[in-house]
Amino acid sequence: MHMPSPNTVAPAQGLYQPDEFKDNCGFGLIAHMKGQASHHLVETAIHSLSCMTHRGGIAADGKTGDGCGLLLAMPKAFFREEAKKLSDKTLSEVFAVGTVFLNLDPAIAAHSKQVLAKEIESEGLTVLAWRVVPTNVEALGEIALQSMPAFAQIIVNCPMGVTEVEFNRKLFLARRRAEQLLSNDSSFYVTTLCSTVISYKGLMMPAAIADFYTDLADPRLASHIVVFHQRFSTNTLPRWPLAQPFRYLAHNGEINTITANRNWALARVPKLENPLLPGLTELNPIVNLTGSDSSSMDNMLEILVGGGMDLFRGLRMLVPPAWQNVETLDADLRAFYEFNSKHMEAWDGPAGLVIQDGRHAICMLDRNGLRPARWVITKNDYITLASEIGVWDYKPEDVVSKGRVGPGQILVADTLTGKVLDTKDVSNHLKNMRPYREWLRDHAIRLQANPQLEEQLLDQGLTGDKLKAAQKMFMVTFEERDQILRPIAESGQEAVGSMGDDTPMAVLSRQVRHVSDYFRQQFAQVTNPPIDPLRESIVMSLETCLGREQNVFEQGPEHADRIIISSPVLSNSKMQQLRDVEKEREGYGVVDIDLNYAEAEGLQAAIARICEETAQAVRDGKTLIVLTDKNFREGFLPANSALATGAVHHHLIKTGLRTDANILVETGFARDPHQFAVLLGFGATAVYPYLAYDVINDLVAKGELLGDPIHAQANFRKGIEKGLLKVLSKMGISTVASYRGGQVFEAVGLSSEVVDKCFLGVPSRI
C-alpha cells in the first residue's frame, strides 16, 4: 500500500502558491576553536537551540514545531562503533554517513535505498551498511507524527587512492542522480551524505530533539562544530525536509531575488562543465525550483564548492557586501567583487547565515545587516555565534571576547588552525587569489557618456508626422506628455501626486491599456523590511554588465572581457556605442530583431518567430540582441516589448543560450519607471527608450519644456533611475543585477496562455 508522503508539496489552489515560502528563524553555531570534539559541545548546542523556542512556531498540539535541527561535524568515533555492530567489514580512514528520509511503505523505501546504493556503487564506492536511525515517537506531537517519514542512515567506505575531497564529489553526484531517478517519490530526501557533516532535523520542538533522535543523547556522540536552527514558518505548512540546517548552511531571512536566482541557475547550466563533476550539466535542475529559498542557496553553494571553488569565494559570490558605492574600499578587493559579479548576481535579501563544512564555522550577514548575529568566545575555547546573546549559561568572567557581525561582514573559526578570521582576513585572502584588478583594467570596457556623440544624434529622432504616428501607435496621450514626461524631464524625478492611484485596473478598464498595467509590483512583507533608496543608497546599484558569461568554475583574464554600464537606462550615445562596439572588439556582434509584425501574421505567431530569430542569432555568434519596434510602418503592428522580452528570455533559457546573449530593448513602450521595471524584471539587460527621448525633444522644440534637449533627456534618465531604485527597494532588493529576470510581479487579468508563453512562473490569480 502506498503511504502518503510527508514531503509532498500542496498543489496551487486559490490564492495559495507552492513556491511562496516565508519564514523567520533563530540560528546559531557552537564550535571548539581547536577542533576538540566532545559530547558536552553537542549538549550545549541542544540547550542553545532550546533557548530559541520563542523563535519558532508551535502547532495546536503543543509538541509539533515548524522545524528545528542540528548539523554536526561528523562524530567519527561514534559511527565507527556503530558500524562494527552492523558489518564485519572495517571502516576505512575516510568514510561517510548519510541520513535519508524514506516512505513509510517498506516496499517503496526498499526501492529507494536500492537506487541510492546502486548509484553510490557506480562511483566505485562501497556501501558498508544501512543503519536504522533510533527514534522515540513519543517525543513528537500528533501533527508531526502524521507526516513523519521513515529514517535510515547509509554508511559508505572511501576506497584506497581516493582523496576525501574526491570521495565527497562522488557522493554528491551519486546522490543527485538518485534524486533524479526517484523524483516521483516525494518522500525520498537525503539530508546529508558526506564525510564531514551529518544532520538531525525534523518537526519536533527544540527541547525534544534529543528525546526523538536518541543518538544525540548518547555520550559517545561527540562533535567539534554544531550548527543549529529553529524555524518559524509564516505562510506555509511545515514539512520535514524544510527543517534546517541544510547540507552546508542554516539561514534566517528572505531571499527576495529567488526567482531570478533560480532562473539564472538554470540558464547557466550549459556553462558549468567541470571535470571534477562529470555529468553535472545533465543533473538539471541544479537547484530546487520550488520550496525553500534557503535550500536553493544551499544547492548552489554545494555545487560551487564541489566544483573546486574556494568556500569563501563561493559565499562572497552568493552574498557579497555592498561594494559598488563604497569609496574607501580597497581597490584590489573592489576588483575581486566586480570580477565575480560578472559570473553571478547576488542572492539578495535580509540574511543571517551560519555555515560549516567540518572544518570552518562561519557566520555572515547580507549587505544591509537586516538580521542579528552576535558572537562570544569563552575560556573553554568555545565560539558561539547566534541570532541573540545568552543562548547558553556561561559565566561573565569566562568571556574572552564578544561582538556582533555587522552588515556585509563575515566571521570564521578555523578549527584546524585554531584561528578566528574576521572580514579583513577573509578579504585579504580573496583579493590575492588572482590579479583581478589587472584583468579588469586590460579587458573590461567601461562605457562612458559621450556629449559630442549625443549632440550628433539629436537630429536623428522622430519629428513631425512620423512622431505623431509613433505617439498614436505606442499610446502616448496628452496627459502622459504633460503629467509624466514633462515633469520628469524638468526636475529629474517623478511628478508628485496625492490620494493614491484611482486608475481602474487594466483588466476592468474599457480602454486599451499598456501590458505593464496588468502587473502589480510585489513588495517586502512578513519579516522582510524594504530599503530606503535615499538614505541607504550606498548599498544600492544599477550597474549593468553585458557580454557572454563564462564558466564560473574557471578564472582567467578573458572572464573580465565584459562591457560595464552604470545604468540599464541607455542614452542615445550609449546605445550607439553598443551598436559600434563590434567594430573594436570581437565577441560583441549586434543584431536587430524586428518586433513589428504584419496583421495577417498575428501576435502569437510573431512572438514565436521573434523567439526563434533570436535563438538563431545567438547560435550564429551574436551577443547583443536588440529587440526593436522602431521600424514600425503601415500595415504592421509592434509586438509589445514586455511580451517579447519575457518570451525571448525564457526561450533562451530553455535552449541553453541565455548566458551567451544580452537583451537590449529599443522600444517606444517604455516611458515611466514601472514600464522599465517590467522589462528588466522579465529579463531585459538594458532599455533604450527612443520614443520618450523624441517626445522630450518635441516638448523642448515647442517651448513646453525649458532648457536644452540633452539636459532634459539626462533628467529623464535620472528620474527613471530614481524610480527603478524605489521599485527595487520596495521589494528589499539592492541591485538591478539581482532584480533582472526576477519577475517580482503579480499578473492581474492575464490568461494562463499568455503567462505560460511570455511570463512563465508569474502568479496570475484573476
Cα(603)–Cα(345) distance, integer angstroms: 33
User: Residue 746 to residues 97, 510, 609, 743, 764: CA-CA distances in angstroms?
Assistant: 43, 21, 27, 8, 6
500 dihedral zone (left: phi>0; alpha: psi -120 to 50; beta):
left
Stretch (H or E) spanning 169: helix 164-181
Collapsing DSSP to helix, strand or coil, 545 comes out as strand
- The amino acid at residue 760 is L
Give the residue among 150, 160, 63 at the shortest CA–CA distance from 108. 150
Cα distance between residue 653 and residue 45, in whole Å: 43
Kindly report whether the peptide bond that precedes residue 245 is cis, defined as omega within 30 degrees of 0.
Answer: yes
3-state secondary structure 203-260: EECHHHHHHHEHHHHCCCCCECEEEEEEEEECCCCCCHHHCCCCCCEEEEECCCCHHH
DSSP string for 273-300: --TTSTTGGGS--SS-SSS-HHHHHHHH
Strand pairing report for 686-688 and 662-666: parallel
> Does the bond joining 396 to the residue before it have cis omega, within 30 degrees of 0?
no
Residue with cell 562544530: 225
One DSSP character per residue, 694-757 reads: HHHHHHHHTTSS-S-HHHHHHHHHHHHHHHHHHHHHHTT--BHHHHTT---EEESS--HHHHHH
* φ, ψ at 652 (rounded to 5°): -70, -35
Of 25, 51, 545, 758, which is the active-site residue?
Answer: 25
Which candidate, 293, 230, 267, places its Cα nearest to that of 58? 230
Q: 692 CB contacts (<8 Å, ≥6 apart)?
A: 485, 668, 670, 671, 716
Alpha carbon 427 to chain centroid, angstroms: 22
* Cβ contact 489:699 at 8 Å: yes
Q: In which element (H, E) is residue 264 found?
A: helix 258-268
DSSP one-letter code for 505: P
Mutual angle of helices 311-318 and 423-431, in 10-degree steps: 100
- Specify whether the CB–CB gap between 80 and 157 falls below 8 A: no
Question: At residue 704, what is the residue type?
Answer: E
Cα–Cα distance, 362 to 319 (Å, whole number): 13
Q: Could you give the CA distance from residue 371 to residue 405 in angstroms, rounded to a whole number? A: 10
CA-to-CA separations, 348 to 58, 174, 317, 410, 659, in angstroms, rounded:
29, 31, 11, 16, 20
Strand boundaries in 14-140, DSSP class E: 23-32, 64-73, 95-102, 126-132
Asked if 182 contacts 112 with a C-beta cutoff of 8 angstroms, the reply is yes
How many helices (H) and strands (E) would you count in the chain? 24, 27
Burial class of residue 58 (count of CB atoms within 10 Å of its CB; 0-12, 13-18, 19+): middle
Quickly count: other Cβ atoms within 10 Å of residue 379's Cβ: 11
Active site residue 25: yes
Q: Parallel, antiparallel, or unpaired: how do β-strands 445-446 and 563-565 relate?
A: parallel
H-run or E-run covering 612: helix 603-619
**Measured distance CA(708)–CA(670) in Å, rounded:** 22
**Which residues are known catalytic residues?**
25
